Chains A and B, each alone.
Chain A
Amino acid sequence: MLAAAIPLARAQNNYEIQVYGADTVAPRTTMVELHSNFTADGQKNFVGTQYPDNHAEHETIEITQGINDWSEVGFYIFTSERSGQGVQWVGDHLRPRVRIPEKWRWPVGVSLSTEVGYQRARYAPDTWDWEIRPIIDKTSGRWYWAVNPALERAWHGPDVKLGIDFSPSVKVSYDFTKKITGGVEYYADYGSITNIASLHDQQQQIFPAIDLNVSPDWEFNFGVGIGPTAATDHWIIKCIVGRRFQWGKKR
């Protein structure tokens, strides 16, 4: 997830803002998602050669293919649009993921995602990076929670020397109705696991968010994020629209 992959004290790139659930996309199913994130109040100045993201519209296309009932592969196309810059391709990521099969009947959902990819230096100083993301979630009655204690590593760029970064995210939600779920999502980047940053330099974002469950084929998520620390974009509006496509022979 590129948003959390950018080490602190640098401008953020909010391309995919999502706490992962443990489910994987079903086999013979393709999930296509459009992540639209607008930074209403963000980094206003260049950081080195990197563009500011204030008033930037980031559109990310995520295509995820279910392999079997315990794995999937996701592919991302990141773009950015900002006044004076037009629509720009930012980079691509590949994200394989495996999960504990449901039939193992664990009390919580568990999956493990890893993501690797490239982004242009104009949009992120580290052009190659890697992430490993454990995912734990649980639905109980009307309540749902998910925890993603992600670890990230720059492979090419100025932050290679910083080592492994800790970027957890958490979601708690409540089913108000069958179709409407409301909750809070939390995203953070605490800095290197061997040298946790001060609160001032940490990235912290809190998103009150709504999920609409209008159809098993569609996914809607909308939220407004608040960044209370100096190193965080202060206001972000995010929206995810997803559509599942089933194909192949039905068993």
Chain B
Amino acid sequence: MLDNECMVGARDSNGGALLRNFTGMFTSRRKFLRRASFIGASVALSGAAQSCSPLFALNQAGAPAPDYRIEIAEIEWELSPKKKIRTVAYDGQIPGRLLNLTEGKPVTIEIVNHLDREEIVHWHGQWIPVEADGAMEEGSPMTPAGGSTLVQFTPRPAGLHWYHTHAMAGHDLKLGLFTGQSGVLHVAAANDLGSYDQQQFIVLHDWEPYYSASGDGSLMVMYVCGSINGRMLGYDAPIQVRGGQRVLFHILNASATEPHWLSLPGHRFKVLALDGAPVATEASVETLRLGPAERVTALVTMDTPGVFVLGEPRDEFRNAGMGTVVEYAGRSSKPVAPRDVKLQWDYRAFADPKPVVRKPDVIMPLVFTSRFKGHGALDQWMINGKSWPTSEPILLREGLRHRLVFDNRSTDDHPIHLHRHNFELISVRGAALSGVHKDVVIVEAGTIVEADLVANNPGDTLFHCHQQDHMDSGFMALFRYS
């Protein structure tokens, strides 16, 4: 099922890329039909059209026919009628198309790169081989400038994941995750996450980054505006609900660096899964916190009729666009925004009521520190005193339970991510827990988080802070199976 064969013919009357194979996934399809205009439309559109030719060539040569194609190109995107940005995106839209895969069913995806530089797409949260993972540090191939690559893998595990660029940005805030190169990868399981009346995919992103002095004297990245599903608050069609409906929200924070909070006034989120993995306790919370790259799957029962903003409870972020409107049928009024919300989040709320104690085979301390490089420079980051790429690989032994001790001795919070595996949280701030499996965890400044990794997917595995500016400043290491 080649979704965008030929993309030119698959555009709706508004110029948005038509999601022919995925429209059934959205109860509100128009949310994902964005008005996008390619920069140099002739280049991008002709690129899309031409991309049919090499595809046929591939087929004739006996190469597997791709199930999906992802086109990487520059676009001009309308966050709101008053705010247009130029960025790089997948398939001419922000976020990229929803890829809905089936656990255990092999998939082939063609990546077509219309840029004049190499790119690479990472399948975040998937337990797949190095060749497919999409991290050049592990040895995955990059997609050459103006070229294409085929990626094949068998999706697992099920749940809410995502795909995004894994290219370095360095100091250039127009590259890497600062662009719009991200989309939702939803892997369906035989057993669904429960009954619901509709589901909504929510992707957070921050835009127009700039460097600013932080309170601790180091340089940090700030943003002019933010969006949900590629639109600033007030400029997207509302999510339409009916009283009594159960709405399953799949929420992804695709920001390059910024953690976000989300609230829906008068409603609570029953959290079913974190980073795609079902939680031990489906706790209900008023507010969600998502670090960069974290995902939350949560059920909301629509039992408070009205019009609301699902968005950042912090004024400065919501006023900059981070929100979308939820509207009950038959209601029309000024949306009620989340305010005076207690920003409180604890992974332990979703853990086993009584922690299951497991004995590790190996204990691996991982100490996070930084080195000051000037008030006008990014700090250099280190894991166990070494910065990527000069650090030596950290050895794993297949089949063993490794207790990773994330010891954050810096003054920043870090969303720590492990490729091709996930880990189970064992302790946070000294408090034991079990039953929470993640592939990204926020390790708050000056705290220790312990997590167990069972080494069961051989191959080099990248470990890093998911803040783009941190990973580009040395906060990476390679785990290698010995």
Contacts and interface: CB of A to CB of B under 8 A. Distances in A.
Interface stretch (A11-19, A128-136, A141-149): A141-149
Contact of B374 (A23, A142, A216): A142
Interface stretch (B120-128, B156-164, B176-184, B208-216): B208-216
A144 B376 CA distance: 8
A102 B376 contact: no
A213 interface: yes
Contacts of B376: 138-144
Interface string B214-230: 01111000101000000
A213 B210 CA distance: 23
Given A105-B208, A177-B372, A251 B216 contact: no
Nearest to B372: A178
A175 B215 CA distance: 16
Given A103-B208, A177-B372, A216 B215 contact: yes
Contact of A178 (B212, B217, B222, B314): B217
B375 interface: yes
A135 to B, nearest CB: 16
Contacts of A179: 217
A129 to B, nearest CB: 32
Interface string B42-65: 000000000000000000000000
Contacts of B372: 175, 177-178
B20 interface: no
Nearest to A140: B376
Interface string A84-99: 0000000000000000
B216 A103 contact: no
B377 interface: yes
Interface residues of A, number: 19
A66 B38 CA distance: 42
A22 B210 CA distance: 16
Interface string B146-162: 00000000000000000
Contact of B216 (A140, A143, A181, A216): A216
Contacts of A177: 372
A156 B53 CA distance: 81
B210 A251 contact: no
A23 B214 CA distance: 13
Interface in A196-244: 213, 216
A143 B375 CA distance: 8
A216 B217 contact: yes
A174 B216 CA distance: 17
B92 to A, nearest CB: 25
A102 B219 CA distance: 13
Nearest to A214: B217
A181 B216 CA distance: 14
- Indicate the member of B222, B224, B314, B375 with the most A CB atoms within 10 Å: B375
Nearest to B314: A251
A181 B375 CA distance: 10
B224 A143 contact: no
Contact of B222 (A102, A142, A175): A102
B315 interface: yes
B217 A103 contact: no
A23 B377 CA distance: 17
B250 to A, nearest CB: 28
B154 to A, nearest CB: 44
B373 interface: yes
Nearest to A138: B376
Nearest to B215: A216
B316 interface: yes
A102 B377 contact: no
A22 B311 CA distance: 33
A142 B373 contact: yes
A142 B224 contact: no
Nearest to B318: A251
Nearest to A213: B217
A152 B94 CA distance: 52
B421 to A, nearest CB: 35
Interface in B363-407: 372-377
A139 B377 CA distance: 8
B249 to A, nearest CB: 25
Nearest to A139: B376
Given A216-B215, A251-B314, A175 B210 contact: no
- Indicate the member of A139, A143, A181 with the most B CB atoms within 10 Å: A139
B375 A139 contact: yes
A138 B374 CA distance: 12
B212 A175 contact: no
Contacts of A144: 375-376
- Indicate the member of B213, B314, B372, B376 with the most A CB atoms within 10 Å: B376
Interface of A: 23, 102-103, 105, 138-144, 175, 177-179, 181, 213, 216, 251
Name the 9 nearest CB pairs between A and B, nearest first.
A139-B376, A142-B374, A178-B372, A216-B215, A141-B374, A105-B210, A251-B315, A141-B377, A103-B224
6 contacts: A103-B210, A105-B208, A105-B224, A139-B375, A142-B377, A216-B216
